[in-house]
């Protein structure tokens, strides 16, 4: 079964860290290939291994896609 790629709106709405399959979808990479690339250290952006789970920081994913990486919010200036 072929899974559709993520839209720009879906990519922009990703949380700070996402799962490997979702990151793969954003890059047009299937599930099996995404896990293979992660296991061999060749996934196109940084990945984090947490036990048996693979996580992908969204900032790295956005950078690989050439999309702007949001900065931290401005400091709260309420007195």
Residues facing 49 on adjacent strands: 54
Assigned token pair, 42: 């060749």
Is the pTM above the cut of 0.85? no
Assigned token pair, 70: 């949001």
Say yes or no to pLDDT of 77 above 80: no
Confidence band for 1, pLDDT divided at 50, 70 and 90: low
Span 22-67, pLDDT tens digits: 999 999 999 999 999 999 999 999 999 999 999 999 999 999 999 9
DSSP secondary-structure letter at 15? -
């Amino acid at each position: 079964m072929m899974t559709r790629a993520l839209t720009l709106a879906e990519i922009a709405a990703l949380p700070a860290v996402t799962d490997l399959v979702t990151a793969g979808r954003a890059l047009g990479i299937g599930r099996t290939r995404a896990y293979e690339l992660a296991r061999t250290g060749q996934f196109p952006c940084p990945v984090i291994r947490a036990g048996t789970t693979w996580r992908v920081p969204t900032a790295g994913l956005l950078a690989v896609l050439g999309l702007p990486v949001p900065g931290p919010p401005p400091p709260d200036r309420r007195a």
